[in-house]
Structure 1
Amino acid sequence: MAGEIPPAQPPPGPPPRPLLWRWRHNPLRRRTDALRAWAGLVLLIAVLAVAPVAAVLVGDAARRHYEDTARHQTLTRYETDATLTRDAPRHPEPGSDEERKTRYPVEVRVVTRDGRTRTTRTEVRPGTTAGTAVRVWITADGEVTDPPLTAEEIRSRTLGWALLAAIGVALTGAAAHALTGLALRRRNLAAWDTAWAETAPRWTTPT
């Protein structure tokens, strides 16, 4: 009596490829495999060499830009007192964490350096009453604005641009590698089509 028939097994998957299989000499390695391996190595070296340089150059340009911006802001902005012309709205939840973080825009009155009095708007804590003086940064025209960039803000933005430059180089290298692989794959397919066109007639039985 025959034994039990074993259950069908799924076909085995493709054999695992070594990490450096394109570099090893074997009968199945195509010329395009070697080309792709060399292209990947060249692109990797290029990215490792160019990314730090790009980060330094872009970071230096960004630092100089923001330092010039900060100097201009320091010359054209100044801090002064502003007086509320009306009460700020009260928060519906007095004493809550949300109230401490909330700011309401209100109208304030400021006096510019040339002695002109004008009204503008700024954000204040909920419930601030009319007549209260708050510190604001204003332009020469008396418009409320942000304070000049600090050294920490300049450093943070500079590092951000430097990091973006390095990431941009890495993404460019990855895109170039992908396009190279796509071009070589199309070349392989074209070579297969040519080889099959030459081989197919030999498989055809004359009638």
Structure 2
Amino acid sequence: MRAATGVWRWRHNPLRRPTDLIEAWVALTAVVLLALAVPAAGWISGARTDASLQRAVQTQIEQRQPTTARVVRLAATPAPSLQSPESGGEQQLRRAVVARWTAPDGTPRTGTVAMRRELAEPGATFTLWTDPGGRQVTPPMRPETAHAHAMIVGLFTASLAAVFVEATRRLVVRRLVHRRYEHLDRAWAKAGPDWGRTGAGS
């Protein structure tokens, strides 16, 4: 609103400098972009990300199947998912066990998997996700998780767009102020030698 008022105020003001009007229009443009373009950019980015993630979720659901696995015994070696240095905290909550399950084609499979420590008892059953070949995989992403990720992407995009608009406005205003100082320097250099003299310039 202040930007629109500034444009109107400088339209016919006799004290208006060219840079004043430019600065007012730049401010008004920035306000419009922040109010309309920035939210639109965030919404479009979030919507496209959500559509892409939902397709990935659907693909995962089609390619991964749950099956019931049974704990045979505790494993002597860590499960593959617990062997990376990044999984140190997870090792405190999960335990490697040897489990048996049935692949989608009906063949029995046995392997070392990680499961919650309180459920890692021989004979216990749990849900295990497998690929078409019967190998253990992570569960598919939940649709609501995909929505949350897309929302974060949209907010991040909108924030970046807002920062870009404001940084551009500040850069333009800084340049305009610099031009004003240059103009004042030139005017002072021209009028300075005669300043204060009686009848100067007459």
Match of 2:97 in 1: 107
After superposition, residues 30-41 of structure 1 pair within 5 angstroms as: 30-41=17-28
Shift of 1:53: 2.7
Please say which of residues 151-160 and 168-177 is displaced more in the overlay: 151-160
Aligned length: 174
Runs of 5+ consecutive residues of structure 2 not aligned to the other structure: 77-91, 196-202
- Partner AA of 1:104 in structure 2: R
Aligned partner of 2:184 among 192, 199, 202 = 192
Match of 2:63 in 1: 76
Match of 2:45 in 1: 58
Match of 2:86 in 1: none
What is the identity percentage for the equivalent residue pairs of Structure 1 and Structure 2? 25
- Give CA deviations for 1:12-49 in whole Å, capped at 9, x if unaligned: xxxxxx99678646676543233212111012112322
Contact 1:83 1:132 survives alignment (8 Å): yes
Q: Distance between the aligned counterparts of 2:109 and 2:193, measured in 1?
A: 95
Q: Secondary structure at the match of 2:121?
A: coil
Q: Secondary structure at the match of 1:145?
A: coil
Match of 1:86 in 2: 74
Q: Distance between the aligned counterparts of 2:172 and 2:75, measured in 1?
A: 66
After superposition, residues 1-207 of structure 1 pair within 5 angstroms as: 24=9, 30-84=17-71, 85-86=73-74, 103-111=93-101, 112-114=103-105, 115-126=107-118, 128-202=120-194
- Partner AA of 1:67 in structure 2: Q
Q: Distance between the aligned counterparts of 1:199 and 1:108, measured in 2?
A: 93
Q: Secondary structure at the match of 2:70?
A: strand
Give me the CA root mean square deviation: 3.2
Contact 1:120 1:142 survives alignment (8 Å): no
Match of 1:13 in 2: none
Change (3 A) 1:105 1:191: farther
Query: TM-score, normalization: structure 1?
Result: 0.67
Q: Secondary structure at the match of 2:54?
A: helix
